Structure 1
Amino acid sequence: MSIDWPAHGLKLQARIELGNALIGVVGMGYVGLPLAVAFGEASCPVLAFDLDSAKIDALHAGQSYIKHIASDRIAPLVAAKKLDATADLGRLGEADVVLICVPTPLTRHLEPDLKYVEATTHAIAKTLRKGQLVILESTTYPGTTREVMQPILEAAGLVAGKDFFLAYSPEREDPGNPTFSTTKIPKVVGADDPVSADLALALYGHVVPQTIAVSSAATAEAVKITENVFRAVNIALVNELKLIFTAMDIDVWEVIDAAKSKPFGFMPFYPGPGLGGHCIPIDPFYLTWKAREYNQHTKFIELAGQINADMPRHVVRVMSDSLDERFGRGLRGARILVLGVAYKKNVEDIRESPSLRLMEMIEARGATADFHDPHVAQIDNTREHPTLNFRNGVAWDAAAIAGYDAVLIATDHDAVDYAALVEAAPLVIDTRNACARAGVVSEKVVRA
């Protein structure tokens, strides 16, 4: 079937194929910055947008503010004029392509909060011109691109698929993953018209090893939701198995390590103190919310969310019981050191980290909760955890560790010396099996 290409679509296609289309990336966080760098390194000119002036200043200076993106990747791009940065959204009209990489959090009622997507779309609409391609990368519910963004962009009279082009391609970033960086991960692309789809596929073909076309933007949105629901449900399963097997005096980590020897039909997931990060704790609720519109109920997904959300409570209970059994005291008045506030190992990202909830729950029980994290010096300003805002971490010091009643391993960073930790601490509550994996065996260690 032949495609009727509008003239400005053909012009954009030529610019994309030649690699001289100006790529605008809105949101210079854990998704947008790696994407901007990837396009810059593919010799595509990039204009980075962010309202945080500190990020813009850092980029102008050729410096990175995300640990797994080295400054020596950014500086050459700035020097070669392949990467520019601005906080002026009025310049969005300069870009041939606009990629939206902004947060999609939940409200306090666990409903989608699209204020950042909507605000960005309104900003794009103000300067939208014929021949531009707009692509949403932020994780969201199926239908967002067509039902929320398209009407905003078309309000001034331009028509999607004819005058400008619109697509969805879900981000698949895994911060800190040394094996799969932005340019090594296949990209799913969906659009509601063939010209938009072809343009988006050609664009991403510059920076990824494979592009996968799906039939619509909503299908691409559903792909991303499915990926994260899959992880959330399976993590909930192993968290529940941990509780069951612990009651049976069976080591769940030993069970999983043995089960993963099966070369088919099993994929290992590991228990922990709860879910963290910008995707897995949030995205399933986007689908739950959207499903209600179709009178569908997501019982399985909601149950998984409940199990994962209950894990911090289990951890605190184990800690309290262990303090009582070992020292004849509970949490009230105790001094607890939380080891790791990042949501996963070897990164500095604290978004939705279960460590923050654990600290609040510990202090609600009358204890004090300090933290040490080799990647996080201070807890940033957070909407959800105001009592922890701007709290500084404590330095690694064996004598200081010995002064705590217990150390809670909430994040298993590789930089931690677990042997030294166990030697110094009177009690270690290990939610990640970090001590055993480091070869440290001690009666001081209680797994939770």
Structure 2
Amino acid sequence: MKIAVIGLGYVGLPLSLQFAKSGAEVLGLDIDQTKVSALLAGRSYIKHIKPESIQSAVGSKTFTASADFRRVREVSAVIICVPTPLNKNREPDISYITETGKTIAPHLQRGTLVVLESTTYPGTTDEDLRQVIEAASGLKAGIDFHLAFSPEREDPGNPSSVVATIPKIVGGFTPECLKKALDLYSIAIKTLVPVSSCRVAEAAKLLENTFRGVNIALVNELKVVYSAMGIDIWEVINAAKTKPFGFMAFYPGPGLGGHCIPIDPFYLTWKAREYGQHTRFIELAGEINTAMPEYVVHRVADALNSGKKSINGSRILIVGLAYKPNVDDERESPSYVLMESLKARGATVAYYDPYVPVIRPTREHAHWAGTTSEKWSQETIGSYDVALIATNHSSVDYKALADWSPCIVDTRNAMSGIPTKPSQVWKA
């Protein structure tokens, strides 16, 4: 089988390589020619994907990359893995999906399977994407071409997260569409979970990430409450998770980051309003998580005030720009919010992140593009009034940070167990 995977980012590239490894012939398509050129040269632009994996797939001719979407006519299945952000009004932006549909539609052959993997609200596949493809191709879904939804379940930075072994939910527009999609994914994925419709599959993905967002909001709120009581939330969580049933540990932080948890629940809240429903739990969780950077900034102010300093005029180093440990993905990272809030209060702000040596252009924080990571040295670290740990990369030497930095604000419990001076570390 020859398939096309559209969107060669954190979802599409590992999926492409897994299909190629499993014996399929894969055509990776992306509008970014620099990505295409890198892949054809055997280079990786994603930290946790080894160049050797790309070189093996390209060398064996099981994988190639292109920016020519007309080549969709060569394949029997198309998997769409494009971004689904929120717009400036915090509403779903499915333009990447619909534009992809319009682009591929004229080149679809009869009998081709189209699968959407991008996280989105229920109804996107069988309404929005279907209508766009049908209008631009003259083909009918379920008759002339097959249509399905199968949500991605990537977990970058988790070495035990392997595409082939993560159970895959699959929903089809028709029973025959579902069968075709199951046949496709059975090539590369060990466990498949068929559901009755595209909408169930879309809703399941939103539930997964909304579940995480709500529970993270709970521990973020308790972090503030317990801090006021003089209780360490991290110690509380470590004690509670010894219960072998009925409890799942979630951890607080400086806010939410990445493309999933800060965004996906709002796809559901937006769609729910269409049906006259109000998602109060989700919206409250969003308010709590969105407020966390402000709480962290207040803790930075407290730490500086203890040394008779203010944020205005201080030098503050953000330790960790990526949205989660051990990845090079800084999309939606709360570190950006912290940097901008501290800068607005008159601080000189910089960052250190071994995974993000240079800030890439982003939709909401374009003005930081080109900013480079500070050097990890005693002279550099010691020149800052505060080191604010926003992401706890395992490769960072926190013992050295304790030796070099006069004041540390820790949002990730990264300094736990490391000898420090009295009043040197402030938890936030």
- TM-score w.r.t. the length of structure 1 is 0.94
Alignment check: 8 A CA contact 2:146 2:173 kept: no
Query: How many pairs were matched up?
Result: 426
Distance 2:350 2:176 in 1: 54
Aligned equivalent of 2:154, options 173, 180, 192: 173
- Structure 2 unaligned regions, length at least 5: none
Distance 2:20 2:66 in 1: 16
Aligned equivalent of 2:262, options 281, 284, 297: 281
Alignment check: 8 A CA contact 1:418 1:440 kept: no
Distance 2:104 2:368 in 1: 36
Deviations 1:37-92 (A, max 9, x none): 00000010000001111111111112211111111111111111100110011111
Could you tell which deviates more after superposition, 69-78 or 227-236? 69-78
Aligned equivalent of 1:81, options 25, 37, 61: 61
Give, in angstroms, the shift of residue 441 of structure 1: 4.2
Could you tell which deviates more after superposition, 392-401 or 254-263? 392-401
Deviations 1:294-321 (A, max 9, x none): 0000111000000000000000011011
Alignment check: 8 A CA contact 1:418 1:435 kept: yes
Distance 2:415 2:94 in 1: 41
Distance 1:398 1:93 in 2: 57
Question: Does residue 355 of structure 2 align to residue 398 of structure 1?
Answer: no
- Structure 1 unaligned regions, length at least 5: 1-20
Distance 1:440 1:117 in 2: 50
Structure 1 residues 260 and 441: CA distance shift in structure 2, 3 A = farther
Structure 1 runs of 4+ off > 3 angstroms?
438-442
Distance 2:21 2:341 in 1: 45
One-letter identity of the residue aligned with 1:35: L
Distance 1:166 1:367 in 2: 52
Give, in angstroms, the shift of residue 111 of structure 1: 0.4
Give, in angstroms, the shift of residue 442 of structure 1: 3.7
Question: Does residue 317 of structure 2 align to residue 337 of structure 1?
Answer: yes
Residue 209 of structure 2 is matched in structure 1 by: 228
One-letter identity of the residue aligned with 1:67: K
Give, in angstroms, the shift of residue 386 of structure 1: 3.0
Identity of aligned residues (%): 54
Distance 2:370 2:59 in 1: 35
Distance 1:292 1:309 in 2: 21
Give, in angstroms, the shift of residue 368 of structure 1: 0.9
Question: Does residue 233 of structure 2 align to residue 270 of structure 1?
Answer: no
Residue 293 of structure 2 is matched in structure 1 by: 312
Alignment check: 8 A CA contact 2:374 2:380 kept: no
Alignment of 1:34-433 (within 5 A): 34-155=14-135, 156-325=137-306, 327-433=307-413
Q: Secondary structure at the match of 1:139?
A: coil
Give, in angstroms, the shift of residue 202 of structure 1: 1.4
Distance 1:342 1:440 in 2: 26
Give, in angstroms, the shift of residue 152 of structure 1: 1.3
One-letter identity of the residue aligned with 1:52: D
Give, in angstroms, the shift of residue 380 of structure 1: 0.8
Alignment check: 8 A CA contact 1:128 1:153 kept: no
Distance 2:314 2:363 in 1: 27
Give, in angstroms, the shift of residue 147 of structure 1: 1.0
One-letter identity of the residue aligned with 1:74: I
Q: Secondary structure at the match of 1:434?
A: coil
Distance 2:383 2:46 in 1: 33
Deviations 1:103-161 (A, max 9, x none): 00000111000111011000111112201000000000000001101111122331111
Give, in angstroms, the shift of residue 179 of structure 1: 0.7
Distance 1:344 1:69 in 2: 16
Alignment check: 8 A CA contact 2:171 2:178 kept: yes
One-letter identity of the residue aligned with 2:184: L
One-letter identity of the residue aligned with 1:301: I
One-letter identity of the residue aligned with 1:439: I
Give, in angstroms, the shift of residue 439 of structure 1: 3.3
Aligned equivalent of 2:418, options 433, 436, 439: 439
Distance 2:318 2:229 in 1: 28
Deviations 1:319-338 (A, max 9, x none): 0111011x211100000010
